[in-house]
Structure 1
Amino acid sequence: MSESTFPTYEVLALRFGTHADRPARDNFLVDEGQFTQGTDMPMDFYFWVVRNEQHFLLVDTGFPEEMALRRGRTLFRDPVDALTDLGVAAGDVSDVVITHLHYDHAGNLDRFPHARIHLQEEELQFCTGPAMRHHIVRKPFEPVNVQAAVQRLFEGQLVLHRGEAEVLPGVTVHSVPGHTPGTQVVRVPTARGWVVLASDASHLWANIRLRSPFPILDQLTPMLDGYDKIEALADGDDHIIPGHDPQVAQRFPRLSGADDWVCLHEPALDSIETAAAVHVAAR
């Protein structure tokens, strides 16, 4: 199928939680003085839906209230319950992409009993391998989520990919290691062009624009190389959707009849330069 004959999809994002009290400098591996002293930069939590009349794909599954309380996060809505805004029940979801197995992206898997779970093979190997003996490495993971992924493997519902793969007609996943060895992004054809759900391959727009990664990472050079790959996959800066940037919920139009959801398949309400200026201080 040529790119010109791909179907197009709507891409929706829901901001379901936040980590509000967060200094800007905590979101970057190296502080080069680009942020003013005392600047706050909250980190929000999202998951995404890709849909058209024939298909429905969930990208990531958030985390439950118990985990929010334990990790000091604020949950605005239960991510699974929020699907009812779209007229979808969790039991009817047939395909879920998990971008990586960190706690905030891979919770609630047990609530999607009939879904195929799409994951990079290297992510499963990493989370069940010797790296998990190190506390600092395993800290962003939850054993219950890794166990749920293994359970789906034994039930024949875990689809393991090695690099690029098509998960819906025209919708592809791409391995972008760095944050974790098996982090993947999702590329979607929309009416406004190719949108890339970057997830934690770039937590914030500022991470990719400044080439300054979020400090939780497995390998630095692959993550920096991944920024180039993401930019090549997307049709422009505002076609790259970071995984945790509060501005995502502010820069795109709301879905009619379901105001908690924003429409990433529609043009942004402002320019990426305007958005970036909110946090980046003049050098």
Structure 2
Amino acid sequence: MSVWEVHAVKYADRNGRTRADSFIFDDNHDQPHAMDYFMWVLRKGSETILVDTGYDAAEAETRARPIRMEPAEALRPLGIAPDDITTLIVTHLHYDHAGGLHLFPNATLHMQAAEMAYATGPCMCHDTLRMPFTADHVCEAVKRLYAGKVVFHDGDAEVADGVTVHCIGGHSRGLQAVRVRTDAGWLVLASDAAHFYENQRLRKPFPIVVDLQNMLDGFATLDRLASHPDLIIPGHDPLVRKAFPQDIADHIVRLDKGPTGRIDI
């Protein structure tokens, strides 16, 4: 059976946050709690799959959330140009995961049908639910659909040999995690099914949520999908860069061999 390389590519971080921004009902709600922003690259021989796109400088300025580098620049050390990407898994359509769709014009998007319905449906009448989305990003996904470059999934599905997607929901209606066969075993890119290790391991929900039960049930799904708890990779935790070895640049870490450091929460 084939195995994949998996690279986590950090393109931004955000300080000035507190634990209240990361956990519901946290006793230490006013303590600082930083966040990293990632894309992920899967490689097997000549095959490359990009998971999520990050967001660009224009979106960073609009939201006053600066990035350290543009998505294309962040991918350059891996020898990847945006036009090279033909398979792109979109875990969900929030701005920080789908804000760079327009940068990858040749990509076919793999996403949950529930996510497109959510991002274009009645829930977007509510400011609170609409806040993590940007209309231009959603419109780019719709344009890609009309160009014949969207593959919709309904629950569990295989994108490639050794790469599957699994609808979790919770944080966003069609949020999907990505399961990847690696040398270390089945690795799960949780994306925002678990922003931080602490969300998933201590069953502490993240405050941005459309369905709290789905979020809580999703933590157990991540456990079931991964070969080992240390192979569940949260979407935004700075601890990922401490637990896994640095790759070919200081903003990239290699995930598929497993962690080399302790994951203490």
Q: TM-score with structure 1 length normalisation?
A: 0.91
Following the alignment from structure 2 to structure 1, what is the Cα–Cα distance between the partners of residues 171 and 24?
Answer: 12
Following the alignment from structure 1 to structure 2, what is the Cα–Cα distance between the partners of residues 38 and 225?
Answer: 27
Matched, 1:99 2:94: no
1:177 match: secondary structure = coil
Partner of 1:264: 255
Following the alignment from structure 1 to structure 2, what is the Cα–Cα distance between the partners of residues 260 and 231?
Answer: 27
Indicate the larger mover: 226-235 or 262-271: 262-271
Matched, 1:201 2:193: yes
Partner of 1:29: 24
Q: 2:204 aligns with which of 202, 212, 219?
A: 212
What are the Cα deviations for residues 62-84 of structure 1, in whole angstroms up to 9, with x where unaligned? Answer: 00112112222231111122222
8 Å contact kept, 1:55–1:168: no
Q: 1:146 aligns with which of 138, 143, 160?
A: 138
What are the Cα deviations for residues 129-153 of structure 1, in whole angstroms up to 9, with x where unaligned? Answer: 1111111110100000100000000
2:99 match: secondary structure = coil
Partner of 2:41: 49
Partner of 2:235: 243
| Alpha-carbon offset, residue 22 of structure 1 | 0.6
Following the alignment from structure 2 to structure 1, what is the Cα–Cα distance between the partners of residues 241 and 156?
Answer: 28
Q: 1:222 aligns with which of 214, 220, 229?
A: 214
Q: TM-score with structure 2 length normalisation?
A: 0.97
The RMSD of aligned alpha carbons is 1.2
Following the alignment from structure 1 to structure 2, what is the Cα–Cα distance between the partners of residues 234 and 183?
Answer: 17
| Alpha-carbon offset, residue 38 of structure 1 | 4.3
Q: 2:108 aligns with which of 103, 116, 136?
A: 116
Following the alignment from structure 2 to structure 1, what is the Cα–Cα distance between the partners of residues 13 and 65?
Answer: 6
Following the alignment from structure 2 to structure 1, what is the Cα–Cα distance between the partners of residues 35 and 153?
Answer: 29
Q: 1:180 aligns with which of 172, 177, 184?
A: 172
1:124 match: secondary structure = helix
> Given residue 166 of structure 1, which amino acid in structure 2 is its aligned partner?
E
Specify the structure having the higher radius of gyration (Cα). 1
- Structure 1 gap segments, 5+ residues each: 277-283
> Given residue 270 of structure 1, which amino acid in structure 2 is its aligned partner?
G
